Amino acid sequence: MVKQFQVGLMPDRVRAYNLSQAKVLAALKGANQETGGSVLEVGEAEYMVRASGYLKTLDDFRQIPLTTNDAGIAVRLGDVATLQLGPEMRRGIADLNGQG
């Protein structure tokens, strides 16, 4: 089973820090960028070089900075969201002759 990190925003806390879903999503994307590299040719072989995402644990996600409060202290994702590791969300459904 494929696992995924699941983020549940707490609306009251998001509002308290004057944040939006879009700002939280942008911070998530920025903190876990995966970038394509290039092809490394060694003799007759080719190797794809790629930098994978940086976030590996729930605590990595909790520490993502979103903004600062009035005192200049960082507000992190863990301050406004619950995080858990769960099964990958099902996307669609396949059916063949009424069985699926």
- CATH number, domain of 9, equals 3.30.2090.10
- Per the structure, the complete domain to which residue 13 belongs is given by 3-87
pLDDT of 63 higher than 60: yes
48 located within any domain: yes
Domain count for the chain: 1
Whether residue 31 contacts residue 55, with contact meaning beta carbons closer than 8 Å, is answered with yes
pLDDT of 82 higher than 80: yes
pLDDT given for residue 93 in this prediction: 67
> Burial level of 85, CB count in 10 A (0-12/13-18/19+)?
exposed
69 located within any domain: yes
pLDDT of 52 higher than 70: no
17 confidence band (pLDDT: 50, 70, 90): very high
Whole-prediction pTM value?
0.68
pLDDT of 68 higher than 70: yes
76 confidence band (pLDDT: 50, 70, 90): very high
Q: What's 91's DSSP letter?
A: -
